[in-house]
Amino acid sequence: MTTDANLELDDMKEIIGDFLIETDELLHSLDTNLVKLESAPDDLNLLNEIFRAAHTIKGTSSFLGFEQVTTLTHKMEDVLNKLRKGELKVTPVRMDVLLESLDLLKQLVEMVRSGHIESVDLSGILAMLEVQMEGGAAPGTTIASPAATVAQPTTAPIRVMESAAKDQPASFDKTTAASPVRPGAEKKVVDQTIRVDVNRLDSLMNLMGELVLSRNSLVQTVGTINKDEVGGLHAEKLNQAAASVNYITTELQMAVMRMRMQPIGKVFSKFPRLVRDLSRDSKKQIDLILTGEETELDKSVIEEIGDPLVHIIRNSCDHGIELPKVREAGGKPAKGTIKLDACQEGSNIVIRIQDDGKGLDPDAIREKAIERGLGTRAEIEKMADRDIFRFIFEAGLSTAKVVTDVSGRGVGMDVVRTNIEKLNGQIELDSKRGAGTTITIKLPLTLAILQGLLVEADHEVYILPLSSVIETVRTEQSDVSYINQRPVLRLRDEIIPIINFASCLRGQGNAVALAEKPYVVVVGLAEQKLGINIDRFLGQEEVVIKSLGSYLGTTEGVAGATILGDGRIRLIIDLIGLFNLARRKR
């Protein structure tokens, strides 16, 4: 790094922080655009955009003295310049070399981020770029994975500054990778964004939570005021003030939440490259169609959802989509399609991954499940296909080789399930042999403030996260039957196990709970459903989860506590824990 006599060290740090943010955005757009270029090799706008990204990285890195970054981008720029002038054509090999260079570039930037800049042997990749620039594929030039020669930074990369604003489409970013339309034309609006430290947003969110609790308390207290004691006029004024505080708090809460929202396109945009690489490796032809990239999710959810989606898409490519010949033999187009869609439904975000591959074989999974002892043969054979598919989220089952071979779902579905559980989300899988598989993921918009459903059971009030509640039913004893003395609810064509809080959380009563209360709340977590037997519904309230502290903090099935409007402390149910408890009781 060059030091500059006219700049303070702190200034330099800030500038490098900015460089990293800017470069991340550019690398991101390069990633997306280079893959796009393969299918649109004559798109001059796209080529110019790619060229400019490389050019900018070259310029800024040279300023700050990151010579290796400059050298590499310089050579990439040379090739890109010839492409954009039409002196070279876009070929698969050329694209491979450019993408390899990009990968290496990313590693170099990671080194800058971690502060451990080591010398990397760039000669291999530079030579390959040189060959590409000369216009020829030198015979025998293979891609000898130059990335492998890079020493990985020893420490985990430290983000100099995480910026919530950096992925907003309206930042300095010129490319807006998430945008489905060709950028360039629409980028005329003057940018009006600032970057804010995430910690500040988090503390704002905390304060917001406290405000919501106080608001609840205020509204409830005002509601119980005795007009005759206070006087009609005062009571009226107080009422108005409380109503207005109530309204403003709700608006403010929405505004704060929106500040933390990021478009899911940020996650989606890395998938075209993933699918491209996978299909090239496996000699398959796969189209990836992205829709709903502008759908916004809380930052914390965005950070967690990437991995499960990678797993699912990888599975679709590896095992779902068949080889072109097989597809044609089956009367399908040679090119397979994976659709990835996101949209908002109420206070949930729904992500759907759909492929037109070979689908799952329910009978193979049935056999495997019986073999694993997940139920008796009679029970499992009676189960509907949709319930059978749930088994692939079981750890033991999804990693089993036979499932991989026969049904074509590889490892990692249990990992997917764990991730979705963590986010209090739900996952559902539907598949038709020969026609493909659809996976639907439902996630809450935000994790910080939750809509709670207040229910009463055995004279105790519990709060359930409303986003996980699928439905509430009034039960007749005739709807309840017992399998192995465990109560289950027959709800339309589904069979849902029933538990009650007392036996699950407090260990009271029979381990085998009797389902004799009048209501059942059906909750969903990842792929499973559970019915909770309760006495009464009390209402709905916005709650903020407070930890129980180390003394009580590890109680299974309890996520924490909250203060309700009436000032009382109530427990918030942790569904992951509850499902685990229920599984063990059963």
Partner 1 sequence: MSQTILVVDDSPTIVKFVSFSLRNSGFEVVAASDGMDAIEKMSHLSGDVDLVITDLNMPNLDGYGLIGTLRQNERYRQTPIIILSSEDGEDDRQRGMEVGANAYLVKPFKSALLLDEVGKFLKK
Sole window of 36-44, 180-188, 198-206, 247-255 interacting with partner 1 (rule: CB under 8 A): 180-188
Alpha carbons 448 and 264: distance in angstroms, whole number: 18
**Interaction of residue 192 with partner 1, rule CB under 8 A:** no
Alpha carbons 309 and 482: distance in angstroms, whole number: 37
Kindly tell me which residue out of 38, 41, 43, 62 binds partner 1, with binding defined by CB under 8 A. Answer: 62
The Cα diameter of the chain in Å comes to: 96
> For the stretch 568-584, what's the b/e string if a residue is b when 16 or more beta carbons lie within 10 angstroms of its beta carbon?
eebbbbbbbbbbbbbee
What is the smallest separation between the CB atom of 25 and partner 1, expressed in angstroms? 9
What is the smallest separation between the CB atom of 80 and partner 1, expressed in angstroms? 13
The answer to whether 2 touches 16, Cβ cutoff 8 Å, is no
Would you say 51 or 268 has its CB closer to partner 1? 51
Sole window of 21-29, 217-225, 343-351, 425-433 interacting with partner 1 (rule: CB under 8 A): 21-29
**Interaction of residue 75 with partner 1, rule CB under 8 A:** no
**Interaction of residue 247 with partner 1, rule CB under 8 A:** no
**Interaction of residue 381 with partner 1, rule CB under 8 A:** no
Structure tokens at 368: 């495997």
Helix (H) / strand (E) containing 289: strand 286-291
What is the smallest separation between the CB atom of 28 and partner 1, expressed in angstroms? 15
Sole window of 1-9, 354-362, 365-373, 572-580 interacting with partner 1 (rule: CB under 8 A): 1-9
Q: How many residues bind partner 1 (CB under 8 A)?
A: 31
Kindly tell me which residue out of 41, 56, 220, 473 binds partner 1, with binding defined by CB under 8 A. Answer: 56
Would you say 64 or 274 has its CB closer to partner 1? 64
Query: Across the strands, what pairs with 286?
Result: 336
Sole window of 6-14, 127-135, 264-272, 384-392 interacting with partner 1 (rule: CB under 8 A): 6-14
**Interaction of residue 396 with partner 1, rule CB under 8 A:** no
Structure tokens at 185: 């034309």
**Interaction of residue 188 with partner 1, rule CB under 8 A:** yes
Torsion of the alpha carbons at 140, 145, 146 and 150, rounded to the nearest 10: -160
147 Cβ contact partners less than 8 Å away, ≥ 6 residues apart: 100, 103, 104, 107
**Interaction of residue 15 with partner 1, rule CB under 8 A:** yes
Question: Positive or negative CA dihedral for 223, 227, 230, 236?
Answer: positive
Would you say 181 or 378 has its CB closer to partner 1? 181
The answer to whether 473 touches 491, Cβ cutoff 8 Å, is yes
State the burial class of residue 450 (Cβ atoms within 10 Å of its Cβ: 0-12, 13-18, 19+).
Answer: buried
Alpha carbons 525 and 580: distance in angstroms, whole number: 11
Alpha carbons 557 and 110: distance in angstroms, whole number: 40
The answer to whether 557 touches 505, Cβ cutoff 8 Å, is yes
**Interaction of residue 187 with partner 1, rule CB under 8 A:** yes
Would you say 172 or 482 has its CB closer to partner 1? 172
Least Cα distance to 401 among 371, 359, 432, 377 occurs for: 371
Site string for partner 1, 109-128 (x = CB under 8 A): --------------------
Would you say 8 or 229 has its CB closer to partner 1? 8
The answer to whether 345 touches 423, Cβ cutoff 8 Å, is no
**Interaction of residue 184 with partner 1, rule CB under 8 A:** yes
Alpha carbons 250 and 300: distance in angstroms, whole number: 21
Alpha carbons 160 and 154: distance in angstroms, whole number: 17
**Interaction of residue 82 with partner 1, rule CB under 8 A:** no
Sole window of 60-68, 217-225, 370-378, 439-447 interacting with partner 1 (rule: CB under 8 A): 60-68
Would you say 50 or 558 has its CB closer to partner 1? 50
What is the smallest separation between the CB atom of 71 and partner 1, expressed in angstroms? 13
52 Cβ contact partners less than 8 Å away, ≥ 6 residues apart: 174
**Interaction of residue 63 with partner 1, rule CB under 8 A:** yes
**Interaction of residue 235 with partner 1, rule CB under 8 A:** no
Sole window of 52-60, 139-147, 251-259, 382-390 interacting with partner 1 (rule: CB under 8 A): 52-60
Within 10 Å of residue 95's Cβ, how many Cβ atoms?
19
> Alpha helix locations (H) across 407-509?
413-422, 501-505
Sole window of 32-40, 62-70, 343-351, 531-539 interacting with partner 1 (rule: CB under 8 A): 62-70
Would you say 59 or 518 has its CB closer to partner 1? 59
Chain centroid offset of residue 386 CA: 24
Sole window of 10-18, 138-146, 402-410, 427-435 interacting with partner 1 (rule: CB under 8 A): 10-18
Tell me phi and psi for residue 498, to 5 degrees. Answer: -115, 140
Q: What 3-state DSSP class applies to 269?
A: coil
What is the smallest separation between the CB atom of 187 and partner 1, expressed in angstroms? 6
**Interaction of residue 11 with partner 1, rule CB under 8 A:** yes
Site string for partner 1, 158-177 (x = CB under 8 A): --------------x-x---
Structure tokens at 142: 């293979």
**Interaction of residue 64 with partner 1, rule CB under 8 A:** yes
Kindly tell me which residue out of 13, 39, 44, 59 binds partner 1, with binding defined by CB under 8 A. Answer: 59
**Interaction of residue 8 with partner 1, rule CB under 8 A:** yes
What is the smallest separation between the CB atom of 5 and partner 1, expressed in angstroms? 6
Q: Which residue has the tokens 């559980």?
A: 421
Chain centroid offset of residue 526 CA: 13
Q: Site residues (CB under 8 A) for partner 1?
A: 2, 4-8, 11, 14-15, 18-19, 21-23, 52, 55-56, 58-60, 62-65, 172, 174, 184, 187-188, 190-191
